[in-house]
Structure 1
Amino acid sequence: MDSEPRTPLEIHLVSAPDSPEFARFARALTRSSVVALDAEWKPVRRPQSAFPTVALLQLACRPAAAEEPAAVFLLDLSSVPLPSVWELLRDVLASPDVLKLGFRFKQDLIYLSSTFCAQGCDPGFDRVEPYIDIMGVHNILRQKQSGRKIAKVSKSLAAICEEILGYSLSKELQCSDWSQRPLTEEQKEYAARDALCLLEIFSVFQAKIINKGNCLNGDVVLHSDHMNLGLKEILKESETCSAIVRIKSFEALHIVRTTTAEFPHGIVTVDEASFRSSFRSTEPMNKALLLVVRRYGEKILLKESDRRPKASKKKGRKRSSLNSVSKEKRETFDEWEGPAPWDISTGGDGCPKFLCDVMVEGLAKHLRCVGIDAAIPHSKKPEPRELIAQAHKEKRVLLTRDAKLLKHEYLLHNQIYRVKSLLKNEQLLEVIEAFQLKISEDDLMSRCTKCNGRFIQKPLSTEEAVEAAKGFQRIPSCLFDKNLEFWQCMDCNQLYWEGTQYHNAVQKFIDVCKLNE
């Protein structure tokens, strides 16, 4: 069932320096005022002596010209000779005319720099400036919404995306092998979405913090009539004098750049000219974006210590008899033996119920999509005793990928199962097979993927759905004349409708679970 519609994707895979896509990519970087960055690499299971090799770099580009659409470029670093893109990327990462967006991008930059250094592009990359982290954007929006200073929180990109944009960002393919070629269409879309959502979140942020384009949290804005005056005349005005003299020295550069943007043939200082000459020709930021950068922009600088992989620290603690579970015993726990707590022979109700810990939280949504009761922990970072208590109380089987939890098997007899697969589709099939679950087409999309609740017995009309959604959820107006049926969760009141995404999801799980065979 559908949620909010998402921005259409324009994806360009760049895999050769002499390709049309490469030329389009290079041109886009010179015409973009905002570039969102993300990187993918083959996941590693334990600390390594060298950093992972970045296999794919995603760049979502927002052109300086507002009428041009954003585009996402997937730079295939396993195919493109790295020296052919090194200078281009280095210039973009440090260009004062391009705002870079990321989500905890420092680690990506470290791996990216290491990957290029290994191919002779020394010293790699050492800075990203100006830069805004989407985690910080989320906290600023929360603070502005509440109207008071609140504690900062750390959320996943998927959670931030759902909160700000109203749609769920799938992370199913995050741990796939990004070094394998060719990339699947699902991998391409996943990678592109990860970068594009950063642009979408920033657009929401930019719209909310600018008040009619004239002020930004009380900052002084130089209007076009100010541009016709010299600095001496501006300082004569009592309103702006005190504010102007408080501007930091590096912000003076922004004033010069704003002036030259208003008058392209204006005077440019020697320092400004030499500063720009080290970068490729790019279009300057508009005044609104320049104000955002001046107020919220930061930078990422890599130190020499960042370029060295940190050795793992192994503590030589004495292992208690409780913790020293033998390898043979762990392997036994990996296989389900039953009976399950819902088994009728043991007094259960016959309805399978699972508790998915934080390591397999995505599996919970997949189980809900096929009609299986799948809960998640009550708290975000539960202790083992909390998981055990919840599983016992609700008579659920605890699903996990954490081998350490297996030591509690003596407390969770026949109530714990270690999931071996990495991808959610494979995890779903593994659980269905291990517990011999019966899945039918009628069960698909019969639970709320948000909270695990059941839907109302009868669907709502469009008018009833609009009334039920007031002050709670926005229903796109494009659905009003489509005569759709709406369903509401009885627990969290979330509304769903049988649109295109619903039918695509049904078909997906028919294929995954092989219900048409």
Structure 2
Amino acid sequence: MGSNQNPTLKTKPHFISSIESDEFSLLRWALGHSSTVGLDAEWKPFRTPNSPSFPPVSILQLAFLVPGQLGGDTESRNDSLVFLLDLQSIPLPSIWELLRDMFVSPDILKLGFRFKQDLIYLSSTFCSQGCDPGFEKAEPYLDITNIYYHLQNKHVGKKLPKETKSLAAICEEVLRVSLSKELQCSDWSRRPLTEEQISYAAADAYCLLEIFSIFQCKLLNQGKSSQDIPKLHFSNESLGLKEILEKPDVSGNILRLKACEASEMVKSTVCESHLRVHSVVKPPSCYSHRNALPFDDTLLKIIRKYGERILLKESDRKPRTSKRKARRKASLGSNSKKECSKDCSDWQGPPPWDSSFGGDGCPKFLCDVMVEGLAKHLRCVGIDAAIPSSKRPEPRQLLDKAHKEGRVLLTRDAKLLKHQYLIGNQVYRVKSLLKNDQLLEVIETFQLKIDEDQLMSRCTKCNGRFIQKPLTTEEAIAAAKGFQVIPDCLYDRNFEFWQCTDCNQLYWEGTQYHNAVQKFIDVCKLNE
């Protein structure tokens, strides 16, 4: 039930915190055997826009398309490997040259999403550890935003428009998956990282490969058929030199292709133990930072037509400060500071549902788009939590709805606090970043009483209540006709079904339900 969340990774991401680890050995191998890498970086966001320095990068993500032999499937052309480099644990001078060579290697296509800012922060991070001058450029480079416009048949130059879609929006349109950005502003400097943070970071880099693969397929369909374009396989290790040279000529450039395949066979004989056993750590001299094979013709054409270069100027290496903002900040007196501290203060109460206001005592909230995920969590613990009908509502619309329905408006937008005077004490700014922490914050701030009987008593889709009596399987099948598909495997499991009184969505007490109940028992500490 629900939409697909995040691109599914074929392999578990490799978290690297030491250059002596097996994962780092595998990374060096991937750098020498992949022609395409997806890049992304994560850092703890600064709260002040005019900070004198750039935020230090905590995690660098690299996603590779590599030989299918790694997965043990000789029929597979490519597998994916995703690495997360912990830049807080690894001595940066020990990996600086490796990464610098990757960024400038003419044999590796770098994929990114507005990656110039990431490269600026990354370069600053390495410079602060004595790796001067950091990173100066990345080429050949291809921006996923540029790919998106070409997929939409909107031909643009190599300079992207100022207003572009987010990576999550592009994934939604191109891959038909929902790329959650909830953890983007989480604290990436804290250790250990959560499993959710690791999955989020890996998905951000991996989805770049998926979008690029679709782009390649579209270009192939527009030009020659796939039968006319030679694709190099990485499974030639099992072939002898005679078999490779006797393969039929499928292009006019057979000598170069066959020589490359034969070279790959010989190379794989030397590195066979490393290909099959990741735990073997070889000296750096055994690895090449450059791709073992040249770009195939298709990829080379894409790079020539759509590729570009990120070049950092001297002005890029210094944080920009806004003179206008600085003057405005200097003009603020002590009264403004007091007002700001008052606006950002903790909840003073009482809430509009309080009996002294004529309320019914039932907590009710309105969550704006910045805390929409919190609304679903509140519903899961039985709390009435509405969301705006529009994706971009005006502040006046939010305030009117909150006042009319007797709700507290939850937001992370400090600007909404200045409208407190319009509806009294009905706006609360959520301070936590993660949904679980936000839920606990709201429960504690408003002293909400949560018990196990309330869990999963509201519809997470529309906020409606469930009918009091559970449906039988026969009743659920009748209710679902023309509305919702019930998997056949549920018919003989004697599950109890529940239906929302507002939107008629059906739910059942399966594994997902019991896992959710246990999750919120733990989050709300109901066992303590």
Relative to 1, partners in 2 of residues 1:281 and 1:169: Cα closer, same or farther, differing over 3 Å? closer
Taking structure 1 as reference, are residues 155 and 291 closer, same or farther at Cα in structure 2, changes over 3 Å only? same
What corresponds to 2:516 in structure 1? 505
Residue 53 (structure 1) aligns with: 56
Match of 1:228 among 216, 229, 252: 252
Partner of 1:7: 9
CA shift in 2, pair 1:93/1:462, >3 Å: farther
For the Cα contact (< 8 Å) 1:330–1:406, is it kept in 2?
no
Letter in 2 for 1:53: P
The answer on whether the counterparts of 1:334 and 1:418 sit within 8 Å (CA) in structure 2 is: no
Alpha-carbon displacement from aligned partner over 1:438-496 (angstroms, at most 9, x marks no partner): 333344445554554566875786898695458xxxx9999899887787877778777
Q: Which residue of 2 aligns with 1:249?
A: none
Equivalences for residues 393-408 of structure 1 within 5 A: 393-408=404-419
Q: CA deviation at 1:351?
A: 3.8
**1:412 Cα deviation after fit:** 2.0
- Over 3 Å counting, the alpha-carbon distance change for 1:89 and 1:206 in structure 2 is same
Paired amino acid for 1:228: G
Give the C-alpha shift of residue 397 in structure 1: 1.2
Give the equivalent residue in structure 2 for 1:275: none
Moved more, 349-358 or 288-297: 288-297
Does the Cα contact within 8 Å between 1:139 and 1:152 map onto a contact in 2?
no
Q: Tell me the residue number matched to 2:89.
A: 79
Q: Does 1:385 align with 2:396?
A: yes
The residue number in structure 2 matching 1:44 is 46
Distance 1:296 1:374, change over 3 A: farther
| Offset at residue 381 of structure 1 (A) | 4.4
Alpha-carbon contact 1:14-1:73 (below 8 Å) kept: yes
Aligned partner of 1:284 in structure 2 is 294
Q: Are 1:438 and 2:441 counterparts?
A: no
Q: Flag the 1:279–1:495 CA change in 2: closer, same or farther, 3 A.
A: farther
1:334–1:417 CA contact under 8 A, matched in 2: no
* Gap change, CA 1:162 and 1:375, over 3 Å in 2: farther
Q: What's 1:103 paired with?
A: 113
SS at match of 1:282: coil
**How far does the alpha carbon of each residue in 1:156-204 deviate from its partner, in whole angstroms, 9 at most, with x for none?**
4344445554554444443333223343444333322332233334444
Contact 1:94 1:129 in 2 (8 A): yes
Do the aligned residues in 2 keep the contact of 1:54 with 1:112 (CA within 8 Å)?
yes
Alignment of 1:441-460 (within 5 A): 441-447=452-458, 449=460, 452=463, 458=471
**Residue 450 to residue 25, structure 1, CA distance change in 2 (3 Å):** farther
CA distance in 1, matches of 2:209, 2:40: 12
- Judging changes above 3 Å, is the alpha-carbon distance between structure 1 residues 309 and 333 closer, same or farther for their aligned structure 2 residues? closer
AA matched with 1:55? S
Q: Residue 62 of structure 1 aligns with which residue?
A: 65
Residue type matched to 2:92 in 1? L
1: distance between equivalents of 2:37 and 2:110? 5
Corresponding residue for residue 123 of structure 2: 113
- Residue 276 of structure 2 is matched in structure 1 by none
Any residues of structure 2 matched to 1:318-333 within 5 Å, and which? 327=338, 330-331=341-342
Aligned mates of 2:188, 2:164 — CA distance in 1? 26
Q: How many corresponding residue pairs?
A: 464
Q: Secondary structure of the equivalent of 1:508?
A: helix
Question: What percent identity do the matched residue pairs reach?
Answer: 64
- Cα 1:226–1:9 change in 2 (3 A) is closer
After TM superposition, the structure 1 = structure 2 runs for residues 482-501 of structure 1, keeping only pairs within 5 Å, are 501=512
* Deviation per residue, 1:50-78 (Å, 9 max, x gap): 11111211112221544453122111112
Task: Look up the equivalent residue of 2:403 and give its one-letter code.
Answer: H
Q: Contact 1:82–1:119 at 8 Å: present in 2 too?
A: yes
**Structure 1 stretches lacking a partner, 5+ long:** 145-150, 230-257, 267-277
- Tell me, yes or no, if structure 1 residue 411 matches structure 2 residue 422: yes
CA distance in 2, matches of 1:205, 1:453: 42
Task: Tell me how far apart the structure 1 counterparts of residues 146 and 493 of structure 2 sit (CA, whole Å).
Answer: 40
Q: What secondary structure sits across from 1:411 in the alignment?
A: helix
Contact 1:2 1:501 in 2 (8 A): no
Q: Which moved more, 1:114-123 or 1:290-299?
A: 290-299
Cα distance change, pair 452–320 in 1 and its aligned pair in 2 (3 A): farther
2:136 counterpart residue number? 126
Counterparts in 2 of 1:229-248, with a 5 A limit? none
CA distance in structure 2 between the aligned counterparts of 1:82 and 1:176, rounded to whole angstroms: 23
Over 3 Å counting, the alpha-carbon distance change for 1:221 and 1:13 in structure 2 is closer
- For residues 85 and 279 of structure 1, the distance between their equivalents in structure 2, rounded to whole angstroms, comes to 12
Amino acid paired to 1:4: N
- Secondary structure of the residue aligned to 1:365 is helix
**Cα distance, 1:394 vs structure 2:** 3.7
TM-score, normalisation: structure 1: 0.74
User: Does 2:429 correspond to 1:427?
Assistant: no
Deviations 1:231-262 (A, max 9, x none): xxxxxxxxxxxxxxxxxxxxxxxxxxx98446
1:200 aligns with 2:210: yes
Instruction: Please give the alpha-carbon distance, in whole angstroms, between the structure 1 residues aligned to 2:329 and 2:185.
Output: 33
Residue 511 of structure 1 deviates from its aligned partner by: 0.8
For structure 2, list consecutive stretches of 5 or more residues without a partner in the other structure: 69-75, 155-160, 232-247, 263-287
**Structure 1 CA distance for aligned equivalents of residues 132 and 329 of structure 2:** 44
Matched-pair contact (CA < 8 Å) for 1:2–1:499: no
Aligned to 1:368: 379
1: CA distance, partners of 2:507 / 2:294 = 44
Deviation at 1:106, TM superposition (A): 1.7
